[in-house]
Structure 1
Amino acid sequence: MTDTHDVVNQPPPLTDFHTADEPALLAAVRRGGAGWGEAQLLELGALAGTEEVQEQARMVEEQPPRLRTHDRFGHRVDEVEFHPAWHQLMARAVEHGLHAAPWAEDRPGAHLLRAAKFYVWSQAEAGHGCPISMTYAAVPALRAAPGLAVAYEPLLTSGTYDFGLRPPLEKAGLIAGMSMTEKQGGSDVRAGTTRAVPAADGSYRLTGHKWFTSAPMSDLFLALAQTPEGLSCFLVPRVLPDGTRNRMHLMRLKDKLGNHSNASSEIEYDGAVAHLVGEAGRGVRTIVEMVNMTRLDCVLGSAANMRAGLRQALHHTAHRAAFGRQLAEQPLMRSVLADLALESEAATVLAMRLATAVDRSRQGDAQEAALRRLALAAGKYWVCKRGATHAAEALECLGGNGYVEESGMPRLYREAPLLSIWEGSGNVAALDVLRALGKEPDSLDAYFAEVEAASGADRRLDAAAAGVRTLLGELGDPERAQLLARTLTERMALVLQGSLLVRYSSPAVADAFCASRLDGEWGGAFGTLPPRADLAGILAGVRADPAPAPASAVAAGALG
């Protein structure tokens, strides 16, 4: 009998790679003042690429959380059951300080190091990054209520993951969530109808429906609700001090396109106990710090998703032959791979620069704070937009193999749009750019100071920066400004990326980026770099695949 199942011309499993072994990332970490934590970063990057962690990521995707609203006797329990692998991933993220740990460490570079860790760990599994991100972001908002911060911040920054429904102050570590969106309002949080009524003990009682509350098994939530003074911010504990469950009922879990491992829910506040955070009537101003931090993680997550997709594409094409040659040796595929690598590096360098601005702004640097205000909104818009396109092209590099769930590529493909939507979709981010320009003109000065640090180094970059100034002069009335908002935001992000690449990346990367993204020599689709682009030079900064491969394929830039 003929054996029809000899497996040939298939790549070996991609495992035991290193997600932190990336020159652009490590250079940015050192440049931003977090080089003291490089050993920690490398340790986490090695862990993220292990077979054990990859298997955990597979399990939480294939066996998503399940809601139990009642026990067998009919009592409400409102519990979400997760696969054990979820808790293993969460425990490691907390142990390595990806959550709120930097707020407890008064050291320059702490927030940048945390961002780099979030980036390398997110390449393993993105879904559990949601509660990790929200826990990080909750601390600066909670500080608007010093009494609450004193009580809860040490537990939010703790290195212990302590899952379970118990009174928060009796636990060894806490996870925080966010509860803002309502079905009639979406991004327009001021349209929320959830009501907060003062109680005799100084707390409030919340009543209303929230349309999206991710990670509903968190210990604490920052929620928005209406008071007589206007929209206000509240801290809502999942369990009350006496051990009873707060009246926060989980109605259902969302059946989402992606992000399957993470539970996202609709909840009902039915007289839930809550504590005012910040000044009544100024809830948006209070919670905006949380939103800014989670927006940074959207950029980091998109950049991480790109890197993970690039790794898969390079690995597959290094080991797969077609028409007599390895795919990675063929000029057209090399052009696609180089373009994917170019986009990935541009996203990573920008993400790390934004994290550096966050870090330095926490140290009191006013110019960095101003840069963060504008550049974060623009970066969130563009990098997250590019993430979905990048995932689609990386998947296509694997052909039909990439369309199969076992490849892991569909998970990346489904995850990418979430990061563009979460914390403000494209229009919200573009409008936020306009808002920053109108209300905080110092942010524009800081943006151009950053861009013009590369002035004179590349004529195409200089011309593109001048084009941004021209666009700014065309905004005119509010209607006109909105029509130009996306164009302006895209150009601002590209010019900022170009400036960073010209200063800090290889000449091959900088030249190809400026030619294709800033000078019009780009077809739009990946793989349409100018014919003169130095493909080998672009791919030279990508680490080599540890799995055996033909020498020519490794030279083409196979990544591990």
Structure 2
Amino acid sequence: MTTHDVFNQVPPLTGYDVADDPALLDGLFREGGGWATEEIHELGRLAGSEEAQEWGRLANEYRPVLRTHDRYGHRVDEVEFHPAWHELMNVAVGHGLHARAWTERAGAHVARAAKFYVWRVDAGHGCPISMTYAAVPALRQEPDLAREYEPLLTSGTYDFGLRPPLTKAGILAGMSMTEKQGGSDVRANTTRAVPQADGTYLLTGHKWFTSAPMCDVFLVLAQAPEGLTCFLLPRVLPDGTLNPMRLQRLKDKLGNHSNASAEVEYERAVAWRVGEAGRGVRTIIEMVNMTRLDCVIGAAAGMRQGLVQAAHHVTHRQAFGAALIDQPLMRNVVADLAVESEAATVLMLRLAGATDRGETAFKRLALAAGKYWVTKRWPAHSAEALECLGGNGYVEESGMPRLFRESPLNSVWEGSGNVAALDVLRAMLKEPETVEAYFAEVGAATGADRRLDEAVTRIKDELTDTATAELRARRIVERLALVLQGALLVRHGHPAVADAFCASRLDRDWGTAFGTLPPGLDLDSIIARATPKAG
């Protein structure tokens, strides 16, 4: 029928290089990971392909299924995945997104951050990848275990299935910390660990939220006689029998549907101690830091993904006699989304660089502040990017609802907003060298932009009022993050992006919604950097 002619519809965004991202590539070289450029473009072209995007869709459309028993009634506690999940995992592990950075040359954490950012066709499979990455530094606190397991954790082979870990070609690590009565307060955990004569422990308890229960080994917190302690717990014991780690159910989550998250009971499950007994939180703190870094990377990647979808749509869609991108107000919205995206990208690469260079004091404060702010901004950014597509964006087939459902997760993961904000205050109070390192970093941009200089002065004034600091923690951390992003953009970003950031975020006249940039900015240059070159 002639009434069903399809026109003024936007072509699919496929056949492009996700790594064709100026802020990403500039930061990659600046932070020492430029040697990985070719591999990152290879991964970017795959991520932008129709095939990989279909993997992401299928992995979320057909969610994991828990099989607690086999047909005969034997307990198996296995999770089944769609084949698309395994395709995604093969690519991620094969390109070393999991733990290869711990064995590579200088700049490896920056290169790994760029690859994790580019390979964003599905957020869910990034969970076991991130956990495995974060497990290595924690496991190194127990050298005997590290010698056995680290080569398998860093292996480039994805070897799925329930078998003894040390017999496999490659393994993945999960974490099991949270209990229903404690949440972020892991010291309230009640899981008990009873020492055995052979040096192992038997764990009994209930974990409310276990990330990636299909992994081969887990870092678990439990109460030993000396206090809260970290343990390594395998799903399959060396003799091939299943460790009594009972998967009770998979969580029905808002998003992250491709990834299984489970409620787990341990019934005298065998585990090995990692780190000093009674110092479990200290043992896992570096693991927490690594997963916080991935929260920032994932949020930055999600912003970029939403941005390019929005920019692609408004470039091809006509309304009121012109392309949407030629409408002044839409240009403001897209440019504002682009500024937010580039600010997140430049910060995540700086944090990855600090990881490579061992800048402990700077990273201690900047990572917690960055995790708080970037993950908080993603949901608003995702909603605005979806709105650029109008009703088309609200339809599942566009992919934007899936992106939107992912956006709140990273703020919750590894410490909610309040936990992260209070952690910043704790660092400032107990580790004053972190404050010195922070102001040394932002001070490197002194004199480059009046608005930034004034914002630095204001945040210093805010910090003098310690009486109400906890009440104002979110405001303080927000300002710390914005000033740091501004300093990085002024020093390293595109001049048009840095100008727009300082004019909106730092100059006291910032609208609440995206699309409130003031007049007089170079929107053309900002939008050009955001618009993908689809094939």
Q: Tell me the TM-score normalised to structure 1 length.
A: 0.95
- Cα distance, 1:542 vs. partner? 2.9
- Residue in structure 2 matched with residue 118 of structure 1 by the alignment: 116
- Cα distance, 1:66 vs. partner? 0.4
**Aligned to 2:510, which of 503, 522, 539?**
522
Question: Where do 5+ consecutive residues of structure 2 fail to align?
Answer: none
Aligned CA-pair RMSD: 0.8
- Cα distance, 1:468 vs. partner? 1.1
Cα distance in 2 between the residues matched to 1:125 and 1:311 = 16
| Superimposed CA distance per residue, residues 282-312 of structure 1 (whole angstroms, 9 cap, x where no aligned partner) | 0000011111000000000000000000011
Letter in 1 for 2:113: A
Letter in 2 for 1:535: L
Cα distance in 1 between the residues matched to 2:499 and 2:308 = 23
- Cα distance, 1:543 vs. partner? 4.7
Paired residues in the alignment total 535
2:96 is equivalent to residue 97 of structure 1: yes
Cα distance in 2 between the residues matched to 1:228 and 1:284 = 15
Secondary structure, in 3 states, of the residue corresponding to 1:209?
strand
- Residue in structure 2 matched with residue 192 of structure 1 by the alignment: 189
How is 1:17-416 mapped onto 2 (pairs within 5 angstroms)? 17-105=16-104, 107-122=105-120, 124-361=121-358, 368-416=359-407
| Superimposed CA distance per residue, residues 162-220 of structure 1 (whole angstroms, 9 cap, x where no aligned partner) | 00000000000000000000000000000000000011211000000000001101000
2:521 is equivalent to residue 540 of structure 1: no
Cα distance in 2 between the residues matched to 1:396 and 1:260 = 23
Cα distance in 2 between the residues matched to 1:67 and 1:90 = 19
- Residue in structure 2 matched with residue 482 of structure 1 by the alignment: 470
| Superimposed CA distance per residue, residues 486-545 of structure 1 (whole angstroms, 9 cap, x where no aligned partner) | 011000000000000001112211111011001122212000001222211222323543
Cα distance in 2 between the residues matched to 1:96 and 1:233 = 29
- Residue in structure 1 matched with residue 484 of structure 2 by the alignment: 496
Deviation beyond 3 Å, 4+ runs, structure 1: none
Letter in 1 for 2:248: M
Cα distance in 2 between the residues matched to 1:120 and 1:295 = 18
- Cα distance, 1:389 vs. partner? 0.4
Contact 2:308 2:530 in 1 (8 A): no
| Superimposed CA distance per residue, residues 239-274 of structure 1 (whole angstroms, 9 cap, x where no aligned partner) | 000100100000000000000000000000110000
Letter in 2 for 1:161: Y
Letter in 2 for 1:120: V
Contact 2:236 2:243 in 1 (8 A): yes
| Superimposed CA distance per residue, residues 377-400 of structure 1 (whole angstroms, 9 cap, x where no aligned partner) | 000000000000000000000000
- Cα distance, 1:99 vs. partner? 0.3
Contact 2:452 2:502 in 1 (8 A): yes
Contact 1:196 1:205 in 2 (8 A): yes
Letter in 1 for 2:39: Q
- Cα distance, 1:228 vs. partner? 1.4
Identity %: 71
Give the direction of change, closer, same or farther, for the CA distance of 1:467–1:163 in structure 2 (3 Å limit): same
| Superimposed CA distance per residue, residues 302-353 of structure 1 (whole angstroms, 9 cap, x where no aligned partner) | 0000000001101111111111111111000000000000100000000100
Cα distance in 2 between the residues matched to 1:151 and 1:435 = 36
Q: Which moved more, 1:370-379 or 1:34-43?
A: 34-43
Cα distance in 2 between the residues matched to 1:431 and 1:371 = 17
Letter in 1 for 2:93: V
Contact 2:311 2:530 in 1 (8 A): no
**Aligned to 1:506, which of 491, 494, 497?**
494
Cα distance in 1 between the residues matched to 2:475 and 2:319 = 40
**Aligned to 2:429, which of 425, 428, 438?**
438
Cα distance in 1 between the residues matched to 2:15 and 2:196 = 55
Q: Which moved more, 1:31-40 or 1:265-274?
A: 31-40
- Cα distance, 1:443 vs. partner? 0.8
Cα distance in 1 between the residues matched to 2:85 and 2:528 = 36
Letter in 2 for 1:58: R
Letter in 2 for 1:402: G
Q: Which moved more, 1:271-280 or 1:37-46?
A: 37-46
Give the direction of change, closer, same or farther, for the CA distance of 1:54–1:544 in structure 2 (3 Å limit): closer
Cα distance in 2 between the residues matched to 1:138 and 1:359 = 17
**Aligned to 1:452, which of 420, 443, 455?**
443
| Superimposed CA distance per residue, residues 30-52 of structure 1 (whole angstroms, 9 cap, x where no aligned partner) | 01111111111111111111111
Contact 2:311 2:532 in 1 (8 A): no
Contact 1:22 1:543 in 2 (8 A): no
Q: Tell me the TM-score normalised to structure 2 length.
A: 0.99
Letter in 2 for 1:32: E
Contact 2:308 2:531 in 1 (8 A): no
2:455 is equivalent to residue 464 of structure 1: yes
Cα distance in 2 between the residues matched to 1:16 and 1:270 = 50
Cα distance in 1 between the residues matched to 2:125 and 2:190 = 29
